[in-house]
Amino acid sequence: MKPIRKLAFVVNDDKPGALDLARTLMAVAKPSGVKLKLTTRLTLARGFLRGADACCVIGGDGTLLGVAHEAAREQVPIIGVNRGSLGFLTTFSADEARAHFGDVLKGAYKIAQRSMLDCSTGSGKRGLALNDVLIKNEVNSRLVRLEVVADGELVTDYYCDGLIFSTPTGSTAYNLSAGGPLVHPSAEVVAMTPICPHTLSNRTIIFRQNVRLRVFNRSDDSKLLVALDGQRNLQVGIGSPVEISISKLKLSLVQRSDYSHFAVVRTKLKWNGGVADGQKSV
């Protein structure tokens, strides 16, 4: 890959050691003549990333999610360095970043393209989501009746706590907690998972890449909350459907050349399939 010559840092200084780590990585970059800039503002000003070859995000997955929509708009790859807990998206640990940062700046990395969801709620209200779009009653304790239409065809209606529309990247997040499937991040699909539906069956539906989804509020006495990546909320116009599709924009994530998605899942989720010690797959 091409060397990184212009690098922006976004640092969550609420995370212990994040600023010190940023200074360490900047010290690695400076002797090579890399142009640097840094912010601790987690809501980026429009244009902050413009012209950068990459953006190094130091924090947790939530920090990266807050940067993702701006990075996708500017087509700037993200180097995620984990100072949070799980770190599915921030794929470099602090030790890995220290050990390999110089090589990454020289071009020793690969790029993973991650799909995003485009969500519109009427009256010009729209946004992007890297993980998921959550639709629920704005009052947490109330059920809501939601009707789902795919490409003009009725799918079904749900009486539930809400619906999660997940990208493959977000399949390890809220979708997984709600009983949804793991989806490989290179798959071009949308997973729809109901939250606590009032039914004896609860199944995720996987929709194809070009699907156009519309969700209607069929509860007369309820208003909807639409949350993008658990961070940004969109208001829904009265009578307006929530429209969801896979965005034309993609997020580029910088990964080590030997990165393995399933190794990350095994490590982060303590997932081993129940294979006994000493046994190997063939």
pLDDT in tens, 254-279: 999 889 998 888 988 888 766 555 55
DSSP assignment letter at 124: T
Mean pLDDT of 166-172: 96
Q: Chain-wide mean pLDDT for the chain?
A: 92
Tokens 């009707």 sit on residue: 147
More confident residue, 274 or 161: 161
Would you say residue 168 has pLDDT above 60? yes
CA 124 to CA 121: how far, in whole Å? 7
Residue with tokens 């840094």: 38
Give pLDDT tens digits for 82-133: 997 778 899 899 999 999 999 999 999 999 999 999 999 987 789 999 999 9
Active site annotation includes 61 = yes
What confidence score (pLDDT) does residue 275 get?
Answer: 56
Q: Per the residue annotation, which of 13, 14, 20, 61 is the catalytic one?
A: 61
Q: Which token pair is 257? A: 């050349």
Written as one letter, the residue type at 221 is D
Q: Would you say residue 10 has pLDDT above 80?
A: yes
pLDDT at residue 125, as a whole number: 84
Residue 280's pLDDT is what?
54
Res. 165: pLDDT tops 70: yes
Contacts of 7 (CB under 8 A, 6+ apart): 29, 34, 35, 36, 37, 52, 53, 54, 55, 56, 105
DSSP, res 106: H
Nearest to 244 by CA among 260, 227, 263: 227
Q: Tell me the C-alpha distance between 121 and 215, whole Å.
A: 10
* Domain 116-249 falls under CATH 2.60.200.30: yes
pLDDT digits (tens, 9 = 90+) for 31-70: 999 999 999 998 898 899 999 999 999 999 999 999 999 9
What does the pLDDT read at residue 58?
97
Delimit the domains of the chain by residue range. Answer: 6-109+256-269, 116-249
pLDDT above 60 (res 155): yes
What integer pLDDT is reported at residue 274 of this predicted model? Answer: 64
The whole-number pLDDT of residue 124 equals 72
DSSP letter (8 states) at residue 175: H
Average pLDDT of the residues in 186-212: 94
Rounded Cα gap, residues 171 and 233, in angstroms? 20
Q: Confirm or reject CATH 3.40.50.620 for domain 6-109+256-269, answering yes or no.
A: no
- Kindly state the average pLDDT of the residues 21-37: 96
